[in-house]
Structure formats: structure tokens, C-alpha cells
Amino acid sequence: MAPTSRGTGNPRAAVPADERPYWLSVESFRGIIERIVREYDPEDFAFTFDDGNKSDLLAADMLARFGLRGRFFLLTGRFDRPNSCSREDARQLLALGMIVGLHGRDHRDWKSLDAADLEDETVTARTELAEVIGAPVEDVAIPFGSYDSRVMKWLKQQGFTRIHTSDRGKCDPSSSVWNRNTLRSDMGEAELAAILSGHEPVSQRIRRPIVRYLKRNLV
């Protein structure tokens, strides 16, 4: 199971209202980690964080204290901006034992880009990120979860080991494409329990694989 969020702690005033629910308070995030450690096998979970917010360091430190490893997807175009990860922060995430992956350069919808811009957002930005952290970048997370068969084919051609979507459902660790389940601060207990346990309504278990197949191969 791959739970994902955008930030940990209180979102700054500039964070748009529609994005604020995707930030988890420190207490909520710690509670979820403790619950996973207590009730499940932590090896079955892969925490991911998008957008490269400064709070990634807080989340990484907490994961490290529990002996867990997270995946942090950074935007090279936001390096050293206020409230975003700096280049040194990116290296610190790696030093904490986290995986540092690519989220692009400027958080654009890759479906809407021409070939040159798509290459800049993925290939060029990937090279820049690898130079910053001094290590290969093998993971990529698609901005907005927005992709089609063209984008998916392109990412596979670039040799990313793991492509992270925002498609919900269980994650097959052996697959090169990982589904992710978004955690929100406004989630109820039933929804959170369903995500952590991997139990989905029958209708969703049937529908989601069909939708994913169409997006990745036909649309």
C-alpha cells in the first residue's frame, strides 16, 4: 500500500484552500505511523510525498525515527524557494535514508505538453536532480496524477524503475507502475481504515483496474 500526502504540519497561509486538506498535522501523521507499526507490517507500506515542500524534512525525520523509509518527489524548479526544499534539503533527505524522486520541474500537467516541454520536465529535470543529490533518480511521480498512454509510454522509455500515479488501490511492489492512495486531513475513520487495510468495495475493485488499463494503454 502506498499512502501519499503533500505536507506535514500546519500549511502556510499561502497554500490554496483546495490543497490544505492534503496536509496532515504532525499528530495525525504520527498517529498513522504508530497505527501501521502496531497493526500491520510496515514493509507493506510505502509513504510518498509530492511537491517538495519544506515540511518534507519533518516527515522524513519522523519516518526515520520509526525505522521507515519514505519517497519524496521534488520539483527542481522550486529549489531554494521559500517554503520549498533547497538543494541541501534534497541531500539531507537522502542522508536520512529516504528515496528522492522526480516530480518534474514546474509542476505542469504532462498530458498537455509537447515533446520538447515533456522532455524538459522529465529528462532534463531528472539529470539536474541527480546532480544535486549525487545519486541516480529512479522514481518519478506524475503531477496531478494526470497522464495518458503517451505520457506513460514516454516515462517507461526513459527507464524509470517506478512510476507513481495517483490511481487508488493496492500497490503491486513488483510492478513498474505504483498506485497511490491519498491521505487527507478530512478523512473519516472508515475511509482511513479502508486505505490502510487495503479493503475496497467490490465495485471499486472491478472498476479501477479497467480505468487504469484504458489510461495506460488506450486513452
Residue 138 and residue 162: Cα distance in Å, rounded? Answer: 7
CA angle in degrees (0–180, nearest 5) for 123-124-128: 120
With 90 as the cut, is the pLDDT of residue 17 above it? no
Which tens digit of pLDDT belongs to each residue from 24-38?
Answer: 999 999 999 999 999
Number of residues that this document lists for the chain? 219
List pLDDT tens digits, range 162-182.
999 999 888 888 999 999 999
pLDDT at 89 over 80: yes
Q: Which of 1-5, 69-73, 128-132 comes out lowest in average pLDDT?
A: 1-5
Q: Pick the residue with more confidence: 204 or 94?
A: 94
Given a cut of 70, is residue 206 above it in pLDDT? no
Gap between the Cα atoms of 24 and 114, Å rounded: 35
CATH of domain 3-217: 3.20.20.370
Query: What span, in angstroms and rounded, lies between the C-alpha atoms of 138 and 93?
Result: 15
What's the confidence (pLDDT) of residue 171? 84
* Residue 19 pLDDT: 86
- Domain borders along the chain are 3-217
Q: What is the pLDDT of residue 9?
A: 85
Q: Which of the listed ranges 3-12, 123-132, 184-193 does the model predict with the highest average pLDDT?
A: 123-132
Where b means 16+ CB within 10 Å and e means fewer, 98-121 reads bbbbbbbbeebebeebeeeebebb
